[in-house]
Structure 1
């Protein structure tokens, strides 16, 4: 019975990204100050084509979650977030999903995103998006498996390549 319970726990643990320190860039906001709720209303593009740009948050419309500040483009989005933050926070604490599938923590670019099974995933560069999209389900499985051991490590302090992060609109 004990083995069955442990197996169930580890199986469930592998099915979601644990919450730890979010990747924070020089804006001081999680997800570089972009509205995490807004991603869920943006149209998704076909695999192999770029997603639309993320929606910047407003520095005066924020909420705290897991010790970090998230910015939102509207009070309504902030309310949706505070009612269920785990639905909206990016997987792997805002780190690149493909990087996690390879066993490391590197930043996620908020403009390189995809919603899969109602979860937000970020990647670091356009080239990495290509590798990620070659096998999204397989990469998620690898990342979920790796996350259990790398999640306790500190958040990445790297800069997102070729990305200028505007501070949230005031």
Structure 2
């Protein structure tokens, strides 16, 4: 390739690159801003994509049905800075009347990890209802250890939770 052709190819590609870059930048500026469906907080386990507390599981179903069940979009409620889903209107009303009873303890963080001084998100599928309170665990082994001696883990977790909670984003 001659020097003259090389120069023509280099100078010819720059305007094209600038036009493509300008078009992309303009398109990005014209896009509507992304609006979150829910205000989220680090103090309650919330799905970062959907904004739903405890991945959209119905917190009341753990008590009523004894199992983890997904809530429905028709029965949502905002409480504690996050959006909760429920299976039916009765569960929704019960939760709104007593969120401190039905909401997961430690914001849904694994109490065995909280007892160790760290915050690890609980999985809504690994749960236990102990002393009329809901606890979520990050893994089955944590749940089994907790259920074997809940008093030991609860004493440690409750002592460490205030400091850990202060470090979580609001």
**With structure 1 as the length reference, what TM-score do the two structures score?**
0.70
- Equivalent residue of 2:166, what SS? coil
Distance in 1 separating the partners of 2:63 and 2:140: 21
Structure 1 runs not aligned, ≥5 long: 1-18, 44-51, 156-170
The answer for the alignment partner of 1:159 in structure 2 is: none
Hey, what's the Cα distance between the residues in 2 that align with 1:30 and 1:65? 10
Q: Which runs of 4+ in 1 moved over 3 A?
A: none
After TM superposition, give the deviation of residue 41 of structure 1 in Å: 1.4
Q: Which has the higher contact order (CA 8 A, sep 6+)?
A: 1
Work out the CA distance in 1 between the residues paired with 2:74 and 2:120.
Answer: 28
- Determine the structure 2 residue equivalent to 1:27: 50
Is 2:130 the partner of 1:108?
A: no
With normalisation by structure 2, the TM-score equals 0.70
Deviation at 1:33, TM superposition (A): 0.4
Q: 1:95 aligns with which of 87, 106, 109?
A: 109
For residues 2-39 of structure 1, give each alpha carbon's deviation from its aligned partner in whole angstroms, at most 9, with x where no partner exists: xxxxxxxxxxxxxxxxx972111233211110000111
How many residues are treated as equivalent by the alignment?
A: 128
Check conservation: 1:23, 1:31, Cα contact below 8 A: yes
Matches of 1:39 and 1:20, distance apart in 2: 22
Aligned to 2:156: 142
CA contact (8 A) 1:23 1:94 kept: yes
Q: Which position in structure 1 is the counterpart of 2:61? A: 38
CA contact under 8 A between 1:20 and 1:66: conserved in structure 2? no
Q: Which residue of the partner structure matches residue 61 of structure 1?
A: 75
Corresponding residue SS for 1:152:
helix
Residue 150 of structure 2 corresponds to residue 128 of structure 1: no
The structure whose Rg is larger is: 2
SS at match of 2:167: coil
Q: Is the 8 A contact 1:36 1:90 kept in 2?
A: yes
Query: What is the root-mean-square deviation of aligned Cα atoms in Å?
Result: 1.7
Give the gaps of 5 or more residues in structure 2: 1-40
